A = this chain, B = another copy of it.
Amino acid sequence: MNFNVKEETKKIIDFIRNYYKKQNLKGVVIGISGGKDSAVVAGLFTLALGKENVIGVTLPCHSNESDKNDAKIISDKYGFELINIDLTNSFDSFKLEIKKIGTYSQNQTKNSDINLKPRLRMSALYYIAALYTELKNGIYLVAGTSNKSELYVGYFTKGGDSSHDISVLSDFTVEEVIEIGKYIQVPKEVLYKTPSDGLSGQTDEEKLGVKYSQISAYLNNKNSVEKSIKEKIEKLHKSNKHKFNIPEYKRR
């Protein structure tokens, strides 16, 4: 791993500052999940733009209260404003409409339900970004929080966490994100928490069937992991390719 954490962190901060200056932007809205990625993104944007231009949003939706506490730890650490928008009622109202079209088992709506939440969260983040753009008289962007490892195996929801205006971690593996987090002093209880979507009741690694350390090893050197792991990772990558390549009819 060829990685100078001090240098890369400085470059990311410069990247944010330069883009904001060039486009004449003001602030950023970040969904604070209570996990490491959003914590690191929030830390980087605070260093780049100042805490007064960062809005963190917690977006519970039938969620663990503990995630909200972890979000508070992050906003206390960096000093930015933290807003809470509970999506539980919106989600439940939506489900009531679905009940009107038919009676479906929990198993039949499982995938639909799991992916509805990140889409409602995206909707809420953009709502807040447009609102603050009005209130503060300057443009607010929504920051993405996906890292390279998650992106490679397609571990995100199209139209959910994949919809954002600026992305700073997409070229860093999970281990590298943790290095950056350590360097910018993300509180340990968040930085080393086991990654989970808080939706399915499983950890990310249980859901994926591979370890992040294996994905990172593979991304650094395709021959560094055993064949069965390599195949699993390639299978995930291939079956999620449709999330990146949208077929579009073009005239010849």
Contact = CB atoms under 8 A, between A and B. Distances in A.
Interface of A: 8, 11-12, 15, 19, 23, 83-87, 89-90, 92-94, 96-98, 101, 104, 107-112, 115-116, 119-120, 122-124, 126-128, 130-131, 133-135, 144, 158-159, 163-171, 242, 246-251
Given A87-B97, A159-B159, A246-B167, A126 B115 contact: yes
Given A87-B94, A131-B104, A249-B15, A119 B122 contact: yes
Q: Provide the main secondary structure of the chain A interface.
A: helix
B23 A251 contact: no
A35 to B, nearest CB: 19
A135 B133 CA distance: 42
B112 A98 contact: no
A235 to B, nearest CB: 15
B90 A122 contact: no
A11 B218 CA distance: 41
User: How many of these chains are in the complex?
Assistant: 2
A87 B250 CA distance: 33
A97 B89 contact: yes
B93 A123 contact: no
Given A15-B249, A251-B171, A134 B119 contact: no
A85 B97 contact: yes
Nearest to A170: B248
B94 A246 contact: no
Contacts of A101: 83-85
A127 B108 contact: no
Nearest to A23: B242
Contact of A90 (B90, B128, B131, B247): B90
Nearest to A86: B97
A204 B249 CA distance: 24
Contacts of A126: 112, 115-116, 119, 158-159
